Amino acid sequence: MEIAQQAIPLPISTIAERLGICAEQIEPYGRFKAKIPLNVLEARPYRREGRLVLVTAVSPTPAGEGKTTTTVGLGDALTRLGEKAMLCLREPALGPVFGMKGGAAGGGYAQVIPMEDINLHFTGDFPAIAAANNLLAAMIDNHIFHGNALGIDPRRVTWRRVLDVNDRTLRDIVTGLGGINNGLPREAGFDIVPASEVMAVFCLATSLADLRDRLGNIVIGRTYDKRPVLARNLKAHGAMAALLRDALAPNLVQTMEHTPAFVHGGPFANIAHGTNTVIATQAALGLADWVVTEAGFGADLGAEKYFDIVCRRYGLRPAVSVVVTTVRAMKYHGGVEVADLTAPDVTAVRRGLVNLERHVETLREVFGQKVVVAINHRAEDAPDEVDTILEAAAAMGVRAVEARHFAEGGAGAEDLARAVLEVASDDPAEPTYAYPLDGSLWDKLRDVASKVYRAKDINASAAIRRTLRQLEDEGFGELPVCVAKTQYSFSTDPKLRGAPEGHIVDVREVRLSAGAEFVVMVCGSIMTMPGLPARPSAESIDVLPDGSIVGLF
């Protein structure tokens, strides 16, 4: 954080001008953030030259492997090598900042800035998404209160409210208590904003009209005779789209080394699809020659969804996929406990390599990707530990490079950038996918589970199977599936490290996201509303009388 506070940013108008956008065309938010209006972006359509680099990772340790820092470092290194590069990142949620996570805008000398703003309120996109989500919720209960002309079954309302705070006590609540003036009591609950379907819709919409239309398609629950009720039936989608109008323009910021970055939209990858807005990525491909983007958590989660949900739908073709790993993560997957990860242990690294190998294999064989492995350097790494990973990569026939952007900025990632430039396809083919869209929802999940998670089978209660058949009968069978699953394992058991196989994926819940156009399969126990730890980082975040914020990292 201190490093970020010392970085000297360029005026955001200068960054925009480097992308060919006049200062007069941007909407500044302070001096170092701006929204780029959609009509300005529409005048710069996608160009064949714009090449997309996907940054993904091994299954992470609880601290994360530095996917965002690597994305930033790679972008800065490409810039240093004379390439016209740009980043596309997600916006961090506010809730986790006050929990365990601290900020999420990169770290060390590989950060997007202004880091404090990005981690706190930024340009107001998350509050706008929450407002749209909660307006719909209020209109549902209000409709029921005022006579319920649509015949909404209060027990079958699936639409949940959202807040951008880690608050476990809001997961399961009863609303409408206190008498007849307060509505009808029913079971309800809150998710965190990044888990909202409105967030997914926001990230997958291609225009304001498309956004409005998708919002209208949201299924909020069922009538007493079990027919779906849409947001458009409640006439909520117009007002929701109005609330999101300004937010839909991508946010432009810069790295500490002045590489332009769109930071826009922020769905979690363990409970949602996990990548920034399609609008930002498409726009970036029209503005830069190299667009580096990241997909959340390990390749089993973020990358799988990026290919199967996003790339397929929008014709995106990554020229190369970068898999971020650390010595630390390999030891973790080799069975070392978190407290012992700093001690050198080549044997453990060797045991843990199965996790990296599995992800690389998936990317190459399931999704047809060219792959580069980035070993995100940490001070305590022993040379023979790093060599062990490099050798394993060589054995797989994959380029692997150590990257030192955290300590050295873009200069430390030049080798990585050169590897990316060499490996990247000049004319990327369409990716291959884990499943075809025309199978059943069950088959799609089974394909993901067998090809990506290497599970033996998937399992679900009779009620969930019935729900899936009902969704297919209603015409939702053509949608892709979006798996909500722990990020710590290929399986649904976060304790199963390495590269487990032969496990069973248990489907605990199915949520239709008709607006986002996917069906969420909640596998294992995964929380859509996090809690705070015993000592939340909020306790040490503070602001001094002069306005400087401390404790954010």
User: Please, what is the end-to-end C-alpha distance for the chain in angstroms?
Assistant: 6
- Given the complex with its own copies, which of 186 and 258 has the nearer CB atom? 186
Residue 528 marked as a ligand binder: no
C-beta of residue 56 within 8 angstroms of C-beta of residue 302: yes
Pairwise CA distance, residues 402 & 379, whole Å: 12
**Rounded least distance, CB 454 to its own copies, Å:** 29
**Rounded least distance, CB 107 to its own copies, Å:** 19
How many residues does this entry show for the chain?
Answer: 553
* Strand, coil or helix: 173: strand
At residue 540, what is the residue type? S
**Rounded least distance, CB 212 to its own copies, Å:** 7
Pairwise CA distance, residues 265 & 263, whole Å: 7
Pairwise CA distance, residues 58 & 329, whole Å: 8
- Given the complex with its own copies, which of 441 and 529 has the nearer CB atom? 529
**Rounded least distance, CB 143 to its own copies, Å:** 9
Residue 61 marked as a ligand binder: yes
Judging by beta carbons within 10 Å of its beta carbon (0-12, 13-18, 19+), is residue 220 exposed, middle or buried? buried
Residue 259 marked as a ligand binder: no
- Given the complex with its own copies, which of 59 and 196 has the nearer CB atom? 196
**Rounded least distance, CB 241 to its own copies, Å:** 5
The torsion of the CA quartet 491, 492, 497, 501, rounded to 10 degrees, works out to -20
Residue 197 marked as a ligand binder: no
Encoded tokens for 433: 């996918």
- Given the complex with its own copies, which of 280 and 400 has the nearer CB atom? 280
**Rounded least distance, CB 11 to its own copies, Å:** 11
- Given the complex with its own copies, which of 368 and 536 has the nearer CB atom? 536
Buried b (16+ CB within 10 A) or exposed e, 85-98: bbbbbbbbbbbbbb
Query: Within a 10 A sphere around the Cβ of 137, how many other Cβ atoms?
Result: 19
**Rounded least distance, CB 362 to its own copies, Å:** 32
- Given the complex with its own copies, which of 46 and 145 has the nearer CB atom? 145
- Given the complex with its own copies, which of 219 and 231 has the nearer CB atom? 231
- Given the complex with its own copies, which of 263 and 398 has the nearer CB atom? 263
Query: Within a 10 A sphere around the Cβ of 38, how many other Cβ atoms?
Result: 16
Q: For strands 228-230 and 219-223, give the pairing.
A: antiparallel
Query: Within a 10 A sphere around the Cβ of 80, how many other Cβ atoms?
Result: 17
Q: Positive or negative, the Cα torsion across 312, 318, 319, 323?
A: negative
Residue 107 marked as a ligand binder: no
Q: Positive or negative, the Cα torsion across 454, 457, 462, 466?
A: positive
Query: Within a 10 A sphere around the Cβ of 160, how many other Cβ atoms?
Result: 22
Encoded tokens for 61: 């340790």
Q: CA angle at residue 519 from 133 to 526, to 5 degrees? A: 75
Residue 281 marked as a ligand binder: no
- Given the complex with its own copies, which of 178 and 397 has the nearer CB atom? 178
**Rounded least distance, CB 461 to its own copies, Å:** 18
Residue 65 marked as a ligand binder: yes
- Given the complex with its own copies, which of 140 and 291 has the nearer CB atom? 140
Token pair 């996790």 is at which residue?
355
**Rounded least distance, CB 361 to its own copies, Å:** 35
**Rounded least distance, CB 23 to its own copies, Å:** 11
Residue 266 marked as a ligand binder: no
Pairwise CA distance, residues 451 & 363, whole Å: 11
State the alpha helices, DSSP H only, in 288-326: 304-305, 312-314
C-beta of residue 433 within 8 angstroms of C-beta of residue 444: no
Annotated binding residues for ATP, written as ranges, equal 61-68
Give the residue numbers of the binding site.
Answer: 61-68
